[in-house]
Chains A and B, each alone.
Chain A
Amino acid sequence: MKSDSKQPRDTEAGEQKHKIGIAYLWLGDRIFKVLVVLLGISIIMLALGMAWVLYSEGSDALSEFGFFTFISSRVWDPAVQLVFGAWPFIFGTLVTSFMALIIAFFPALAVAIFSAEYAPRRLAAIIDNLVQLIAAIPSVVIGIWGIFVLAPWLRDTIYMPIFDWTAINFPELLPVLGNPIGYGMATATIVLAVMIIPYTTALAKDAIKAVPKDQREASWALGSTRWEVIRMAVLPYARGGIIAGAILSLGRAIGETMAVAMLIGNKNTLPFSIFGAGATMPSVIVNEFREAVESLHLSSLMAIGFVLFLIALIVNLTASYINRKLSIGGNQIL
């Protein structure tokens, strides 16, 4: 939210008949405060309750395998051995999210710089709104587009030529590349990158906007070109906020569920390959939660939810730590 300091148009307060009873004043305030604080506390309870519920529902699996074995074991076998290890999904989540951030970061930063420093005010507003609109597109809509348009297109025009070329020149690399069926790690990563660009952009722009005027003016005074001002005065100053924003975007990518579940191909066993199918923590929950019969299977899925909670928590706390440390107010709500 942008701050503004306009005066309220109608101040009813003045028209109030103030028949000031103790009850009205003191009790009213008390009740109001208690109510408001209770509502506030309910959010704290919600966050803690979520962690607790996920932990207790997943505790069967966590105590059966042990927390560290659970997150590091590579085998997810719901049929024969009933052994559940979350590593393939943690790996899939981290790889797709980090790669998506790497792909998204510089374009997003470029848009933020362009919109904040170059574009005229009206154009900047249009760009900002359009970028935010990307964030408003529901994940499932991107999913259906991915299934029927993007994945077949990528397979035919990008993956297959690369695959064929590699098959001729470096056949030993084929296992790394994987079978290009269109649905897989690469497709999921590309879609994730598109989906987090708005977050990275908005947060980077906030950070850039927060750079004080004198920073820029000092640089202008030295006779810098516009780009030099940005590179030497603005970006170093906004660095902290930009990085915090990038980490927050990473958090988005980690939790993104539907589009990824629809496009990643869903393969539960390592090794994953670049074009081949993989899985992430949210995608395995979506795919198997309604299908699970064994209690241990269900509990393992909840335990994955708990691990996901922990990872998201770490990412968010890291971002807010960096943000606070550098005291730049990048609190745009998306």
Chain B
Amino acid sequence: MVRNFLYILIFTCLSISLLTSCGEIDPDRTPADQRVGILGAGATFPAPLITAMADDYRDLTKRRVTVNYQSIGSGGGIRQFIEQTVMFGMSEAFLSDQVMEDIERQTGGKAFNIPVTLADVVPTYNLPGIRQNLVFSGELLVEIFMGRVTRWNDPKIAELNPDVRLPDTAITVVHRSDGSGTTNIWTSYLSRVSDEWRGRVGFATSVNWPTGIGGNGNEGVAGAVINTPGAIGYNSLSYAVLNNMSYGSVINQAGNIIKPSFEATTEAANIELPDDTRILFTNTPAEHGYPIAGFAWMLVYENLDHNNAISSRSEAKELIRFLVWCITEGQVLSHPLGFARIPDTALEKNLVMIRQLKWEGELIGEEVLDEVDFEKLPS
């Protein structure tokens, strides 16, 4: 019986190997030796976009290049990038100075943070009978999430929404309880507008909330908000729209009331960017920018040969090709999927960085960029 079991085991292994190798003889695929697998991991929020890009790119290359992206969270993305188990990381927080220095010391080159998309977070709420777009200010959101503004008819809310008849309902704060990039951007905005918030709560993918109930995932927050009259939470814009939730406008630094939209999010990043694009622009100075937004960066090593996860020059080149495609043609996928496109300023900085990518000293980034015909790209 045990022997039979072994036979079954061997048979199964064999049949699986047969099955998969049969797949390889598919005529419209190129020979196996040219196929490339690219492994990336990181932030959850941009995962739908990146995986959709991976899907399209796979079709585009006739299944020659497969990009496996696993959403393990921004923190996981940074950690796996540092430990060189992935070819690229993905994060909603840029690498810290400390990490940048460590990497420069180890690999003799920089680590590049390349913005690929933008994340935006909107305040969502449940006030039965009120369909108007409520207006919030940063200070007000801090007061609410600190647990100091506890009723919807509080003068501080009424002041910003003079035309709305606010009910005397208790406010229930709903926040993410799992680690999340959404929380990172939301708390980073609250930290930017309030020193007290920065000192007491700070910003991170999960924080020690002063008040409120926790929901697991975007959905948990949405579920809790939808089911609790008087609740206020925060979700990504695409998710709020998809689920038909009420969401508020936010007054930005310039004093304009900004209704969340892809354009307003893109506009938020339309500011003077540093060359390495490592900037947090929540509470953006951009005049018409939506203030609760941030980049999602793809992380790559300048000296690609120093990343243990990349084994050959051709793999490195394929990675760069995918990266270039993501920030150019791939951007057309953004709006249908509920993402904002990166602004031209960011694209320019990205191209400068990509131009510096090297394999054993050779500027392969430049080689790849020379292949691309920028005239033909959709704007």
Contacts and interface: CB of A to CB of B under 8 A. Distances in A.
Interface of A: 75-80, 155, 178-179, 181-183, 262, 265-269, 276-277, 279, 287-288, 290-293
Interface string B89-114: 00000000000000000000000000
B158 interface: no
B206 A291 contact: yes
A285 B178 CA distance: 11
A183 B206 CA distance: 19
B186 interface: no
Nearest to B213: A179
Nearest to A267: B214
A119 B302 CA distance: 73
20 contacts: A77-B207, A78-B179, A78-B206, A79-B208, A179-B213, A181-B224, A262-B216, A265-B214, A265-B216, A266-B214, A266-B220, A267-B177, A277-B177, A279-B177, A290-B75, A291-B73, A291-B74, A291-B180, A291-B205, A293-B78
Given A181-B227, A267-B213, A291 B178 contact: yes
B2 to A, nearest CB: 14
A178 B112 CA distance: 46
B172 A183 contact: no
A76 B215 CA distance: 17
Contacts of B74: 291, 293
A288 to B, nearest CB: 5
Nearest to A83: B208
A292 to B, nearest CB: 5
B214 A291 contact: no
Nearest to A181: B224
A287 B76 CA distance: 12
Interface in B170-209: 172, 177-180, 187, 199-209
B335 to A, nearest CB: 28
Given A75-B208, A80-B200, A290-B76, A183 B215 contact: yes
A183 B79 CA distance: 31
B361 interface: no
A181 B215 contact: yes
A266 B74 CA distance: 19
A79 B178 contact: no
Nearest to B210: A269
Given A182-B227, A266-B216, A80 B206 contact: no
Which of A78, A287, A291 lies at the interface centre, i.e. has the most chain B CB atoms within 10 A of its CB?
Answer: A291
Nearest to A266: B177
Contacts of B213: 178-179, 181, 265, 267, 276-277
B207 A79 contact: yes
B155 interface: no
Contact of B179 (A75, A262, A279, A291): A291
Nearest to A295: B79
B161 interface: no
Interface string B204-236: 111111000111100010011001100000000
A79 B75 contact: no
Contacts of B178: 266, 287-288, 291
A307 B216 CA distance: 24
Contacts of A276: 213
Most buried by B among A183, A288, A293: A293
A80 B214 contact: no
Contacts of B76: 290-292
A181 B214 CA distance: 9
Contacts of B72: 290-291
Contacts of B204: 78-80
B177 A265 contact: yes
Instruction: Tell me which of A80, A182, A262 has the highest count of chain B C-beta atoms within 10 A of its own C-beta.
Output: A80
Given A181-B224, A292-B75, A76 B177 contact: no
B174 to A, nearest CB: 8
B179 A287 contact: yes
Contact of B206 (A181, A265, A288, A290): A288
B354 to A, nearest CB: 26
A181 B223 contact: yes
Given A265-B215, A292-B76, A293-B74, 17 more contacts: A75-B208, A77-B207, A77-B208, A78-B207, A181-B228, A183-B216, A265-B220, A266-B220, A268-B206, A277-B213, A277-B215, A288-B206, A290-B72, A290-B76, A291-B73, A292-B79, A293-B79
Contacts of B207: 77-80
A232 B130 CA distance: 65
B209 A269 contact: yes
Contacts of A76: 208
A179 B170 CA distance: 12
A291 B216 CA distance: 14
A288 B215 CA distance: 15
Q: Which 9 interchain pairs have the tightest Cβ spacing?
A: A79-B204, A291-B179, A80-B202, A291-B73, A293-B75, A266-B177, A267-B214, A77-B208, A79-B207
A75 B180 CA distance: 19
A288 B204 CA distance: 12
Nearest to A76: B208
B202 A79 contact: yes
Contacts of A292: 75-76, 79, 179
Contacts of B179: 78, 287-288, 291-292
A79 B200 contact: no
A80 B227 contact: no
A114 B220 CA distance: 41
A269 B201 CA distance: 13
A131 B156 CA distance: 57
A80 B208 contact: yes
Contacts of B205: 78, 291, 293
A173 to B, nearest CB: 16
A276 B212 CA distance: 10
